[in-house]
């Protein structure tokens, strides 16, 4: 297996594609984004190894986001490669018009519910990239949790890992005699994956993501190969850190409501993240909403219309805490 680092002109953080080849089969996990720069980089990396796109037999996508799936259609057009992605994300990767229309409609409903100002909504609409804008669309083969594939002499097991995206999957395998996982954006080494805004189709996204993280802790992989940046040598420790991070964020959400009184999601987001631009105009309130929704389900927060307030007694509970963390149940 070889990691192929790729730039990312469309989103944040350099991407990774992972190449498996045993002389008989050539397989990719993720492709990078759809831009000409990324295509040139991937083609050059292939040429160095005496491969071409036409040699790719199969592509496994961790999830539907364009910086992971962007070149799948173009590679398939040259090679006829099978493109595998979880069934929840398959319609978006394949460019299904109804799926994309539903996603746009869902975005608009959340723009309204979260209280995103109109100038912010306009920026997000300008940034929206439908599948057809990324070039050739692939025909996809849906995969499910628990399926196992033989990939260039390795067994690759699918682990559904929702939260950041509805169909995000981890691919488990063994490399050099040790357990390893290709985690996509479920686990990243530098920043914490966005939850709530990155895929608004996910119901109760924070709980789903915390369970995904706990699954990584329990699996105790020796190494994780993420969708962005460098490998992670202690995935369980990194996953536990992100769980702690979300408990600290939950405390900050509650502390904001305690100081500000009843307010909407955009106001909480501004308190947590300050002024936002670009895709963060979606991600900031999305993550704030993920926490507010979870805290509402737990009875810690009460929603009245589009505003949230602390439930009775929670303010006293915050004051009594010994550290700035609010324990989350999942």
pLDDT grade for 12, boundaries at 50, 70 and 90: low
pLDDT computed for residue 132 by the predictor: 64
Asked whether the beta carbons of 262 and 309 are under 8 A apart, the reply is: yes
Quick one: average pLDDT of 39-61?
Answer: 97
pLDDT grade for 134, boundaries at 50, 70 and 90: confident
pLDDT computed for residue 199 by the predictor: 98
For 229, the token pair is 């940046």
Query: What is the C-alpha to C-alpha distance for residues 327 and 330, in angstroms, rounded to an integer?
Result: 10
Helix (H, G, I), strand (E, B) or coil at 260: helix
| Listed residue (204, 201, 161) closest to 328, CA to CA | 204
Mean per-residue pLDDT over the chain, rounded: 96
Q: Is the pTM of this model over 0.85?
A: yes
pLDDT at residue 131 tops 80: no
> Hey, what domains does the chain have and what are their CATH numbers?
2-97+134-240 (3.60.15.10), 242-320 (1.10.10.10)
pLDDT tens digits along 171-227: 999 999 999 999 999 999 998 999 999 999 999 999 999 999 999 999 999 999 999
pLDDT grade for 135, boundaries at 50, 70 and 90: confident
pLDDT computed for residue 247 by the predictor: 98
pLDDT at residue 130 tops 80: no
pLDDT at residue 46 tops 90: yes
Range list of β-strands (E), the chain = 2-6, 15-21, 26-29, 58-60, 82-86, 140-143, 148-151, 154-160, 169-175, 178-184, 223-226, 263-264, 301-304, 307-310
């Amino acid at each position: 297996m070889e990691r192929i680092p790729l730039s990312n002109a469309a989103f944040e953080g350099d991407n990774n594609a992972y190449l498996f080849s045993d002389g008989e089969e050539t397989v990719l996990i993720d492709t990078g984004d759809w831009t000409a720069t990324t295509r040139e980089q991937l083609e050059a990396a292939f040429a160095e190894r005496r491969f071409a796109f036409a040699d790719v037999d199969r592509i496994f996508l961790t999830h539907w986001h364009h910086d992971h799936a962007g070149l799948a259609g173009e590679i398939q057009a040259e090679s006829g490669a099978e493109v595998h992605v979880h069934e929840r994300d398959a319609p978006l990767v394949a460019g299904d018009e109804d799926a994309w229309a539903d996603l746009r409609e869902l975005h608009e409903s959340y723009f309204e519910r979260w209280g995103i100002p109109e100038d912010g909504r306009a920026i997000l609409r300008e940034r929206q990239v439908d599948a057809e804008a990324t070039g050739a669309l692939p025909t996809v083969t849906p995969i499910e949790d628990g399926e196992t594939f033989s990939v260039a002499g390795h067994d690759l097991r699918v682990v559904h890992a929702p939260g950041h995206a509805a169909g995000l999957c981890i691919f488990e395998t063994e490399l050099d005699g040790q357990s390893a996982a290709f985690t996509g954006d479920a686990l990243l080494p530098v920043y914490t994956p966005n939850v709530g805004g990155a895929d608004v189709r996910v119901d109760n996204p924070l709980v789903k993501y915390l369970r995904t993280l706990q699954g990584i802790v329990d699996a105790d992989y020796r190494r994780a190969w993420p969708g962005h940046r460098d490998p992670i040598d202690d995935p369980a420790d990194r996953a536990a850190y992100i769980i702690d991070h979300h408990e600290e964020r939950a405390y900050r959400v509650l502390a904001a409501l305690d100081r500000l009184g009843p307010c909407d999601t955009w106001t909480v987001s501004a308190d947590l993240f300050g002024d936002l631009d670009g895709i963060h105009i979606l991600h900031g309130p999305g993550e704030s909403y993920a926490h507010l929704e979870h805290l509402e389900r737990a009875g810690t927060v009460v929603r009245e219309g589009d505003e949230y307030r602390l439930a009775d007694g929670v303010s006293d509970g915050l004051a009594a805490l010994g550290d700035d963390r609010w324990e989350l149940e999942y």
